[in-house]
Amino acid sequence: MMENRTCCAILVAAGSSSRMGGTRSKQFLPLLGKPAIAYTLRAFERASSVSEIILVARPEDFEELRAIAGREGICKLRKIVPGGKSRQESVFNGVEQAGDAGYFAIHDGARPLILPEDIDRVIDDAVKFGASTLAVPVKDTIKIADGNGMVLSTPDRSSLWAVQTPQVFEAGLYRRAVQLAREQGREYTDDCQLVEAAGNCVHLCMGSYSNLKLTTREDLPAAEAFLKGRDL
């Protein structure tokens, strides 16, 4: 039997921009005159390894997201589904609509600078290892501190990586990890941690430092600077 290598991208765009001082979803923040989510959608549309896209969002944003997808010519968008009370629940909602895809590529909608070639590379890596995530070596020295801000230790920087998205998993492996998390009532900060907690290994695939996440207003000028250097 041939392996099912089809990949469904789950784009999580259900968060707000509270850390930016706003109430609208940060995926709608303008970058060079376009909403950030437009760039995210275009990257996954252009990634040859992605067969379909499921967008997880707040119901009040559905209409605007459909309009953006229409303007950008996004043909792979299969469905927009509502987010949950947590990021983990939002991802689960998306996965439940993913049909019989062989792999899931889970991505933060607020990472609009992702490149199609990086998406394809991490999906290929997941086909090889079962679970893979884009990541980059940490540049800064990291300190571990106590609750009072006093340094406890300094880990070896050579072994530290900053994990990004997409995080890509073989569908059966991921669904088993989801079931275990539900049975245990556990919440995880990212999907790699969820998969690791189920006893699986995750491979790190070299990403790009430009693949930043829009978190604070200081991120917007940096994102626009990267975009200006690309052939859009």
| Among 184, 90, 94, 176, CA closest to 131 | 176
Q: Confirm whether 148 is domain-assigned.
A: yes
Q: What does pTM read for this prediction?
A: 0.93
Q: Confirm whether 67 is domain-assigned.
A: yes
What integer is the mean pLDDT of 9-13?
97
**Which pLDDT belongs to residue 22?**
61
Q: Are 45 and 53 in contact (CB under 8 A)?
A: yes
Phi, psi of 161 (to 5 degrees): -130, 145
Q: Confirm whether 1 is domain-assigned.
A: no
User: What is the tens place of the pLDDT at every residue in 138-194?
Assistant: 999 999 999 999 999 999 999 999 999 999 999 999 999 999 999 999 999 899 999
Q: Confirm whether 2 is domain-assigned.
A: no
User: What is the tens place of the pLDDT at every residue in 15-45?
Assistant: 765 555 566 778 999 999 999 999 999 999 9
**Which pLDDT belongs to residue 216?**
87
Distance from first CA to last CA of the chain, Å, rounded? 40
Torsion on CA atoms 77, 78, 84, 90, rounded to nearest 10: -70
Domain of 174: which CATH number? 3.90.550.10
Note every long-range contact of 18-21, with CB atoms under 8 Å and residues 24 or more positions apart, other chains counting: 19/215, 19/216, 20/214, 20/215, 20/216, 20/217, 21/217
| % of the chain at pLDDT higher than 70 | 94
Q: Confirm whether 179 is domain-assigned.
A: yes
Q: How far apart are CA 113 and CA 120, in angstroms?
A: 15
Q: Confirm whether 221 is domain-assigned.
A: yes
**Which pLDDT belongs to residue 232?**
58
Cα Rg, the chain, nearest whole Å? 18
Q: Are 150 and 80 in contact (CB under 8 A)?
A: no
Q: Confirm whether 144 is domain-assigned.
A: yes
Describe the chain by its helix, strand, coil percentages, rounded to 5: 40, 25, 40
Q: Confirm whether 39 is domain-assigned.
A: yes
User: What is the tens place of the pLDDT at every residue in 197-213?
Assistant: 999 999 999 999 999 99
Number of domains into which the chain is organized: 1
Instruction: Determine the structural domain holding residue 88 and report its residue range.
Output: 7-228
